[in-house]
Amino acid sequence: MVKNCCVKGCSASWKPDVDISFFSFPFKNKDLLKEWLEIVPISNKISKYSQICSIHFDESQYDCFSGKRFLKKNAVPSIFPEDIAKIKEIVEEVEKLYPKCQSVVLESINNNNFHDHCYSKLEETFLVSSVLNETDKAIQVTPRTQVCKFSF
């Protein structure tokens, strides 16, 4: 049986040359299962064969033993396709308001890298201080100056 991710909008499937793991729903832990079912956007009804790929789990949800990654006992998936789509919408709005941040923010979003990295001198960048959800009405942007220091 081919492993496919059951998250709505995710097309991940098992391939021997791709480093993606697949995890079953926690049917033995009813509280954790309930939590997963409340937040995971699934494309169909789940069964004991339904699986979620590792793309949907933040790095903090893993433990490493002997060089292998394992989900923590109470891990909860938190990264979903619509989240990335919402972030891209926010980036487009920010780009219209502040064109200087376009390359920095868009590159981070496209690479699924949501951390604040500094690789070169930036005259001015802008931080998106809140991500839109269904009830938000506006994007909050905080300007800041960032200068990188290099040591050789």
Say how far apart CA 106 and CA 142 lie, in whole Å. 17
Closest by Cα among 93, 128, 91 to 111? 91
Q: What are phi and psi of 6, to 5 degrees?
A: -90, 0
pLDDT tens per residue, range 20-69: 889 999 999 999 999 999 998 887 788 999 999 998 999 999 998 888 88
CB atoms within 10 A of CB 100: 14
Put simply, whether the predicted model's pTM sits higher than 0.75 gets the answer no
Rg (CA), the chain: 19
Residue ranges covered by each domain of the chain: 1-79, 81-140
**H or E segment at 23?**
strand 22-24
pLDDT tens per residue, range 104-151: 555 655 665 544 444 433 444 444 444 444 444 444 444 444 343 433
Per-residue confidence band for 99, with pLDDT thresholds at 50, 70 and 90 = low
